[in-house]
Structure 1
Amino acid sequence: MGKYREQVFNVTLITVGTVLFVGALYCCGVGIDWKIFLILFAFAIILDNLGIMYTDIKLSLSPTIGMATFLIFGTVAAAMLMVSSVMFDTIVIRKKIKNGLLNGAMFSIAYLIPGWFYEFIGGKTGVISFSQVKYILSYVIMSFLLNNFILYYALKAQGKILFKEYWNESVLLELGTYIVMFPAAILLAYIYFKHSLIFFVLSLTPLIFIAYVFRMVRDLIKANKRLNAIYEMVKVINSKLELNQILDAIIEVISQVVSISAAAIYLVDSNGIAILAKSVSSKESKEVFKENYFKDEGIVGKCISLNKTIAIRDLKQDKRFSSEKFLNDYGSVMVAPLRFSGSVIGCLMILHVETNVFDDDSVKIVETIVDQASVAITNAKRYYEVSKKSITDPLTKTYNRRYFNDALTESIMRSDETSEPVSLIMFDLDNFKLINDTSGHLIGDEVLKEVALRIKNNVRSDDIVARFGGEEFAVILPKLTAEQAYMIAERIRNEVSSKPIKTSKGDIYVTISGGVADYPEKADSAEKLISHADRALYAGGKSKGRNRIAIYEV
């Protein structure tokens, strides 16, 4: 749908622009001295190439030449000059034929319609006077609004990510350039009418200096944003955010310094496989990122094995990774390795729908940020591991008693807020002491680990399994009544007792008993919930022959 919408918009824009332009040339002619036209054309090209780039958006002072041409020679001459100069710059210099056609069509509309409106309301070309200023101002405002209106919907049709951010900045900067261009165009037209051609040409040269200053200011703004991005990354490093939050922050910081259409972060696991950890995209037609890469596989695998950044400015020309179908939706890609202490721990992939987006400057700043990001990711993983160790039973890898107490209290508080039940199952291995006495404690540990695994494999993802103590386990089941929890407990009991546990001393059959209670139906506090489930375990399960599940009865 997104691609179709873009194609419809492009065809419509090119058709309307071409019809208006050809019709204007046929009906009105150009009406300009070709020697002056070539001089103005050359200055427009120079100013275009001193413009500020926003991927496919270019801001320059070349419209000053267009406005001056309009005031001197009229609507069609100005449109002719600006359409030809922007198409020459885009197609010949920047090698973008489609964009050249689109820009030419946009300039055709943005110069012809305001020019005709100017003439309709009484404005005159070929003469400069104070009384004409209000008409000239209306022409400039209408041209600005029309140009930005077309550009807005052109970008929207392409589904650019972070569209608002760079759009707002470009509009503000363009308004700044128009404050310069409006009086400059009037002054140039006045000089043309009052002075010699040589003096007029010399009067055009200060525009080159002003354009250079604008470019320097833009570079300073970019440098400031990049310093801020690095500062933000340092703050992230010093934070105690979870890994997922760190990955979000990294992509957010990267988007502040380079324009992106999609991004993905891959982290290398203990087997050396790059696993997709985070991805974002605004392209409606994008294919899903590949979930994992083996060593040397694809662009991600190659980046990790080489331990160096891979930046491809034009994916249409560079076919090294053409087998990765999702890359066909994009024009530029950069993959930078995430390194810590010399080892690659993952990589960052950023893509853009346009070609020639990621230049050498972009590569350097991204590499600087990912170096900082690697520290943040490593810190987050270490913090997670330390936190997990503090709440996890080292033998069974279930939660420990301390975490269980906090989780049960929190579950009951949530139950009070939502009026939904919470159930508790207390499990105890039958005759576990006999296993330790006959087979030894190491075999007993193997049995505990396998039982814990079977319990975890038979509960829901948001249920909490904890080692309550010794051979006793507890399971917190939010949103379930005791009767519903009983069914799960039976499933676990059957899973434990029906299959032998393989140990280093042979197969061992074990059974398990359980007691179930729920809140608030059978208990009115966390303490009573534990007590009642435990009572059901021993009174209804153990005392009646073991390998049984019982529900606490009030």
Structure 2
Amino acid sequence: MLPNQSPQPPQYHILIVDDEVKICDLLSSALKGKYYVDTACSGEEAFHKIDSTDYDLVVTDLKLGDKSGIDVLRHAKERDDHIEAIIITGYASLDTAISAVNFGASSYLVKPVSLINFIAQVDRSMASREFYIRSAAFLKQTSSIEPEMQRHLLNITDIYEFSRKLLTSLEVPEIMKCFLEELNKKVNPVFSAVGVSLFGTSEIYAMPRVGRVPAEQIRDSLLQNWDKAFGLLNRNNLLQNNISFVLFDGPSGEPQPLTVSSVSTVPMIIAGQIIGSIAISGDNIELQTEEFQFLHILSSIFTPLVEHSYVHKRTKLMAETDGLTGLINHRTFQQVLSREIARANRNRTQFSLLMIDIDDFKKINDTYGHLIGDAVLTDMTKRLQASVRQQDIVARYGGEEFTVILPETDIHGANILAERVRSAIASEPYSFSESEIPYTISIGLCVYDGNLPKEKHLLIENADKALYISKNEGKNRITIK
């Protein structure tokens, strides 16, 4: 059952944009009596309506016939920077929808849209719109009060907007970019940076206030002021490229000279532990007590979200990869293979699949023990990754079996690459202490043709059969099925 309609008369204007009339009608009906609702079935129609009406919320599909939902969102934001926006997307466009949040969308919904979720999202967006309208009106009414009070009220509004933006994503880079953008607007530095050390990983994210600055200049500036900025992190790790360093471009404009004479920092604290710091670098920049207080409040909101995003990243990695080799695991391989089949069918292209097995691996385990067996699997992984191309997808299928998906590769190209892999393994033994273990692999190769679609399990069966033939006919060889 849908939530009860509000007894209050409509006061907010909403525009729903989708190139399917049925979806426009469905979503519009769900809001009937609660809000004023217009619909548009094309990007061009949406542009005209946005130009002629003051909307409080735009709900748009990402994929429209003539324009994209991002175009509609940008146009709405040009007219009213504080307009609320909700993006609707299919699973295939989820990454784009998340990016749309960075353009100012309040949130996104994934098709098929639940009307209960849709109404809840709209109500939340309207509550935010009401908060903004009242805050703006209140600030106008208080123009005669002391500047200190005005700044305090602006800070409250800024904290609210900042929190909303941060809560739209769990991805570390997006959270960092959002935070640095807001920080630069607030304190006007030459550049700002965040350094984090969590779960054995150290990373630095930085952004100049304006324009694009060479990464080496930002990096050198951080090294010169290391103790002030990131004393928590090991300076030598950045010099040896053991700390991941990500530099975002600032808003478009003429970059400032990278003159840094002062660095102000705010620690990132969670459960009593310092996990990083926020560094503001500038030319004689001096933050007032009130500004430091504001930054500490931002840090208290930002830091738990950063920790949560790193936990999410780590959990996702553990779910998708094999713990020993670091390759994608069997479950993820199945998902990737399904996507590759769909792409080949859509584009009428070919791709190849290698099924690989280490010959006589049981003898290695029985002779040298499972620890050495694991070391051989790791050695195999390194050689395999060094032999394939950047676009190829390597997975641990299970036990001593590996697979390689070769996108847009025909039988001839796949056979050449398979021979390169086989030769890389057979060319030299695995060495440890003063011992050597020679080992080889057998490979089964098959090609998927998008012009002749077939079930995924048949493709895997064919590769398996080819591998079985290689094993039975002497091992250390390639069989094409």
Q: Shorter chain as normaliser: what TM range? A: 0.5 to 0.7
Give the direction of change, closer, same or farther, for the CA distance of 1:445–1:243 in structure 2 (3 Å limit). same
Number of the residue aligned with 1:525: 455
Q: C-alpha displacement at 1:283, in angstroms?
A: 3.5
How far 1:536 moved relative to its partner?
2.3
Counterpart position of 1:334: 264
CA distance in 2: counterparts of 1:278 and 1:460, whole angstroms: 31
Q: How does 1:9-48 map onto structure 2 within 5 Å?
A: none
Q: Which has the higher contact order (CA 8 A, sep 6+)?
A: 1
Are residues 1:413 and 2:339 paired?
Answer: no
Aligned to 2:172: 243
Q: Does 1:394 align with 2:323?
A: yes
Is 1:302 aligned with 2:212? no
Which residue does the alignment assign to 1:516?
A: 445
**Which TM-score applies when normalising by structure 2?**
0.57
Instruction: Give runs of aligned pairs for residues 56-135 of structure 1, distance below 5 A.
Output: none
Partner residue of 1:218 out of 150, 155, 179: 150
1:276 to 196, 200, 204: 204
* C-alpha deviation, 1:270, in angstroms: 7.0
CA distance in 1, matches of 2:213, 2:393: 39
Distance verdict in 2 for CA 1:472–1:286, change over 3 Å: closer
| Residues 1:301 and 1:217: Cα distance change in structure 2 (over 3 Å) | closer
The answer on 1:477 being equivalent to 2:406 is: yes
Q: Tell me which amino acid in the other structure corresponds to 1:250.
A: F
Contact 1:459/1:488, CA 8 A, preserved across alignment: yes
1:318 matched to which residue of 2? Answer: none
Contact 1:340 1:374 survives alignment (8 Å): yes
How many angstroms does 1:415 deviate by? 2.6
* Structure 2 residue matching 1:409: 3-state secondary structure: helix
Q: C-alpha deviations, 1:6-51, integer Å up to 9, x for none?
A: xxxxxxxxxxxxxxxxxxxxxxxxxxxxxxxxxxxxxxxxxxxxxx
Mapped partners of 1:334, 1:225: distance in 2: 24
Deviation of residue 488 (structure 1)? Answer: 2.5
2:210 and 2:384 map into 1 onto residues whose CA distance is 41
Q: Secondary structure at the match of 1:393?
A: coil
User: Match for 1:341: what amino acid?
Assistant: A
Query: What SS does the aligned partner of 1:457 have?
Result: helix
Deviation for aligned residue 1:453: 2.4
- Residue correspondence of structure 1 range 534-545 to structure 2 within 5 A: 534-539=464-469, 541-545=470-474
Aligned ranges 1:308-387 → 2 under 5 Å:
328-329=258-259, 333-351=263-281, 355-356=284-285, 358-387=287-316
Distance 1:302 1:409 in 2: 50
**Which of 233, 249, 254 lines up with 2:183 in the alignment?**
254
Residue 546 of structure 1: how far off its partner (Å): 1.7
Task: Please give the per-residue CA displacement for 1:320-347, whole angstroms capped at 9, x wherever unaligned.
Answer: xxxxxx9843576433333333443333
Q: Which has the larger radius of gyration?
A: 1
Contact 1:466–1:475, Cα closer than 8 Å, also in 2: yes
Preserved CA contact (<8 Å) 1:229 1:256: no
Equivalent AA in structure 1 for residue 388 of structure 2: V
Going from structure 1 to structure 2, the CA distance change for 1:395 and 1:279 (only over 3 Å counts) comes to same
Inter-partner Cα distance in structure 1 for 2:330 and 2:232? 46
Matched, 1:227 2:156: no
The structure-2 alpha-carbon separation of the partners of 1:417 and 1:511, relative to structure 1 and needing over 3 Å to count, comes to same
Amino acid across the alignment from 2:230:
I
SS in 1 for 2:409: coil
Deviations, residues 235-279 of structure 1 (Å, cap 9, x unaligned): 62xx6612122212322443454335533333337778x543453
Change (3 A) 1:263 1:512: same
Contact kept in structure 2, 1:426 and 1:537, CA below 8 Å: yes
**Root mean square deviation of aligned Cα:** 3.6
Contact 2:344 2:350 in 1 (8 A): yes
Distance 2:412 2:270 in 1: 51
CA distance in 2, matches of 1:292, 1:379: 30
Distance 1:374 1:256, change over 3 A: same
Give me the whole-angstrom Cα distance separating, in 2, the residues matched to 1:473 and 1:360: 59
Structure 1 residues 415 and 269, CA gap change in structure 2 (3 angstroms)? same
Aligned partners of 1:397, 1:214: CA distance in 2, in Å? 59
What SS class does the counterpart of residue 329 from structure 1 fall into?
coil
Residue type of the alignment partner of 2:343 = R
- In structure 2, do the counterparts of structure 1 residues 492 and 292 end up closer, same or farther at CA, with 3 Å as the change threshold? farther
Amino acid aligned to 1:459: V
Answer yes or no: is the 8 Å Cα contact 1:423–1:477 preserved in 2: yes
**Residues 423 and 518, structure 1, Cα contact 8 Å, conserved in 2:** yes
For structure 2, which runs of at least 5 residues remain unmatched after alignment? 1-136, 234-255
User: Does residue 446 of the first structure (1) align with residue 357 of the second (2)?
Assistant: no
Per the TM alignment, residue 408 of structure 1 is displaced from its structure 2 partner at its CA by 0.6
Q: Where do 1:420-431 residues align within 5 Å?
A: 420-431=349-360
The alpha carbon displacement at 1:475 in A equals 1.2
Instruction: For residue 404 of structure 1, report the CA deviation from its aligned partner.
Output: 1.0
- Structure 1 gaps, min length 5: 1-175, 180-209, 308-325
Structure with bigger strand share is 2
User: Partners of 2:154 and 2:216 in 1: how far apart?
Assistant: 31
Once residues 445 and 285 of structure 1 are traced to their aligned partners in structure 2, the CA distance between those partners, rounded to angstroms, is 45
Q: CA deviation at 1:511?
A: 0.5
Alpha-carbon distance in 1 for matches of 2:216, 2:422: 41
Larger helix fraction of residues: 1
Q: 1:431 to 1:285 in 2, by over 3 A?
A: closer
Taking structure 1 as reference, are residues 412 and 270 closer, same or farther at Cα in structure 2, changes over 3 Å only?
A: same
Aligned residues: 320
1:487 aligns with 2:413: no
Q: TM-score, normalised by structure 1?
A: 0.50
SS at 1:213 equivalent = coil
Question: What is the rounded CA distance, in whole Å, between the counterparts of 1:221 and 1:462 in structure 2?
Answer: 52
Whole-Å separation in 1 of the counterparts to 2:394 and 2:324: 13
**Contact 1:232 1:253 survives alignment (8 Å):** no
Equivalent residue of 1:425, what SS? strand
